[in-house]
Amino acid sequence: MERFPVTAVSLLGLLGLWIAAAALTSDPSILPQPWSLVGPAWTEIASGKLPYHLGHTLVRVAWAFALAMGIGTVLGFVMGRCETVNRWLDPWLVVFLNLPALVLIVLCYLWIGLNETAAIVAVTLNKVPNVTTVIREGVRSFSGDLDAMATVFRMPFRRRLRHVLLPQLAPYMSAAARSGVAVIWKIVLVVEFLGRSNGIGFQIHLYFQLFDVARVLIYALSFVAVMLAVEWLVLQPWERQARRWRTA
């Protein structure tokens, strides 16, 4: 692939910026050099602490992501297809889109309790309106001609969904999924920061109180690394598959 070196060089550039900034600061307690993180990072991994907290965060992200994408896609689909439902639900959407994440998190903890359900519900509620909006836009852009074609030839609903409608929705789904994962993991951290006793957000809270910049960076970067892996191993191959007809 031709663009692989670009990605690598671009990431190396970011690393270079970090090294330069760390050299200029010359205070490891504010910004340590990247290589000075290797030792502590290895200690965190070997002790099993980092995998333990990363695992908890990943499970929350996975749950919230699946729920938000599922609910958001169905809502967006119905709102895009049915104008009456859209008129009724659109004001709700605006309300929830503009409700600060923090407010939803605090309310969920207060109403549901300081538990896992509240954490996942809070993150899901934060993301659903976003997914709904994107998917609704996708559904509105459906081709009327293809609709007519599927009707005339009496394609059964499931076949129509899979071969006529979902392919038209694919770019919107991948946009929603991309921004979805990014936003969800940030909100999960806040949820963990505020009211959980494990997860990366909890660890960052802990090391924030200890002014341990190195460990805050280690925990943050560990998740970034996981997300890059997901991007390259799952999302991009899937997209290539879905876009094959465009480039053929």
Partner 1 sequence: MTEVEVISKRFGATEVLGQISFRIAPGETLAILGPSGIGKSTLLKIVAGLDRRFEGRVARPERLAMVFQEPTLLPWRSTLQNLTLVHADLSRGAAEDMLAQVGLAGKGGFYPGQLSLGQQRRLALARAFAGRPQLLVLDEPFVSLDAELAETMLSLTESLIARARPATLLVTHARAEAERLADRMLWLGGSPARLGPEP
Binding site for partner 1 (CB under 8 A): 145-146, 148-156, 159, 163-164, 167, 242, 245-246, 248
Task: Decide whether 94 or 149 has the Cβ nearer to partner 1.
Answer: 149
Q: How far is it, in rounded angstroms, from Cα 33 to Cα 21?
A: 9
Q: Do residues 207 and 216 touch, judged by C-beta distance below 8 A?
A: yes
Task: Decide whether 146 or 230 has the Cβ nearer to partner 1.
Answer: 146
Instruction: Enter the tokens of residue 120.
Output: 């996942």
Task: Decide whether 4 or 245 has the Cβ nearer to partner 1.
Answer: 245
Q: Please, what is the minimum distance in Å from the beta carbon of residue 237 to partner 1? A: 17
Q: Please, what is the minimum distance in Å from the beta carbon of residue 161 to partner 1? A: 12
Q: Do residues 148 and 157 touch, judged by C-beta distance below 8 A?
A: no
Task: Decide whether 27 or 147 has the Cβ nearer to partner 1.
Answer: 147
Task: Decide whether 164 or 235 has the Cβ nearer to partner 1.
Answer: 164
Burial 81-114 (b: 16+ CB within 10 A, else e): eeeeebeebeeebeeeeeeebeebbeebbeeeee
Q: How far is it, in rounded angstroms, from Cα 60 to Cα 215?
A: 21
Q: Please, what is the minimum distance in Å from the beta carbon of residue 236 to partner 1? A: 18
Q: Please, what is the minimum distance in Å from the beta carbon of residue 139 to partner 1? A: 17
CA-atom Rg of the chain in angstroms: 22
3-state helix, strand, coil in the chain (%, to 5): 85, 0, 15
Q: Please, what is the minimum distance in Å from the beta carbon of residue 171 to partner 1? A: 11
